[in-house]
Amino acid sequence: MEVKKLGVLGCGQMGAGIVQVFAAAGYEVVACDTIPAMIEKGIKGIEKRLSGRVEKGKMTQDELKAVIARIKPSNKLEDLADCDIVEEAIPEDLELKKRTFAQLDTICKPETIFGTNTSGLSVTDMAVATKRGDKLLGMHFHNPAPVMQLLELVRTIMTSQETIDTVKKWGATLGKTVVVAPDVGGFIVTRLFTPFLLGAVRMLEAGIATRDEIDISMKLAVNHPMGPLEVVDFIGLDTELSIAESLYEETKDPKYAPPLLLRKMVTAGWLGRKTGKGFYDYK
């Protein structure tokens, strides 16, 4: 199948970045979210990031305008009907994703390939919510999507070789390096990275080190661009909690058990950068 038209469902932190990746690669893209203000915010963010590239002489103003013109905002799933690939980037909630894919299945043309940006939920569970299990896979972009080079595809036992081949070839046109992971909780990246992030929260909770000692140590010792607590704020504490819960439920491995501090902070509404407060204060 020739991939021409794309759709992104959910225009939050990840969805907006993915819309940018698609439009910058020359594809027409429908940016769909139930909250129109999220799409507006997402497109404004894309314009701001691309303006930075124009200022640095990395792209022209005309190229910026052409990227923005390829983005079609929408708050109706029906507008995704004729897309060749639809990438879902709605919250990390399995029941919500299953319901949404079941709806999309009745709306989109039979050839449409469905991708999920889930960080680690069961892709097979989403596939069986549709009648096109062979055409549904994980398409895990990393944060921030326009910057991070990896596209982690997640293949279930139902995903066809044809789907994998099409998406691998198309992924390369986005300028990403593609790896294929199996459908086990957290795939490759989240499975390896989550115990590290949760370990930092536990270290803070136990009073072993302060926030700054933890983050500065990891930045200066391992050359990470952000400390682990900064990363959790960046990801969103609610998303990190959902990831930990689903990994712990699948593996029962204590290294994935959500720390109480993380839970309490989510209950308090301290979700990190997106709410202005997490381990750091952004106000």
Ligand X SMILES: NC(=O)c1ccc[n+]([C@@H]2O[C@H](COP(=O)([O-])OP(=O)(O)OC[C@H]3O[C@@H](n4cnc5c(N)ncnc54)[C@H](O)[C@@H]3O)[C@@H](O)[C@H]2O)c1
Q: Where does this chain bind ligand X (CB under 6 A)? A: 9-15, 33-35, 38, 89-92, 100, 117-119, 142-143, 235-236, 239
Phi-psi label, residue 186: left if phi above 0, alpha if psi -120 to 50, beta otherwise: left
* Residue the block writes with tokens 């080079």: 149
Bridge partners of 139, per DSSP, are 153
d(CA 86, CA 118): 13
| Residue whose Cβ sits closest to ligand X | 12
Question: Quick one: which of 60, 58, 61, 68 has its CA closest to 24?
Answer: 68
Report the nearest approach of ligand X to the CB of residue 42 (Å): 8
Report the nearest approach of ligand X to the CB of residue 65 (Å): 25
11's CB contacts (< 8 A; 6+ apart) are: 19, 31, 32, 33, 38, 39, 41, 42, 89
Report the nearest approach of ligand X to the CB of residue 96 (Å): 6
Burial 83-92 (b: 16+ CB within 10 A, else e): bbbbbbbbeb
Strand order in the sheet with 5-9: 71-74, 28-32, 5-9, 85-88, 113-116, 136-141, 150-155, 177-182
Nearer to ligand X among residue 82 and residue 93 (C-beta): 93
With residue 28 as reference, give the H or E element that holds it: strand 28-32
Report the nearest approach of ligand X to the CB of residue 91 (Å): 5
Q: Name the DSSP class of 149.
A: -
Report the nearest approach of ligand X to the CB of residue 2 (Å): 27
d(CA 164, CA 200): 36
Report the nearest approach of ligand X to the CB of residue 163 (Å): 20
Nearer to ligand X among residue 9 and residue 19 (C-beta): 9
Nearer to ligand X among residue 14 and residue 30 (C-beta): 14
Nearer to ligand X among residue 158 and residue 247 (C-beta): 247
Nearer to ligand X among residue 64 and residue 83 (C-beta): 83
Nearer to ligand X among residue 55 and residue 78 (C-beta): 78
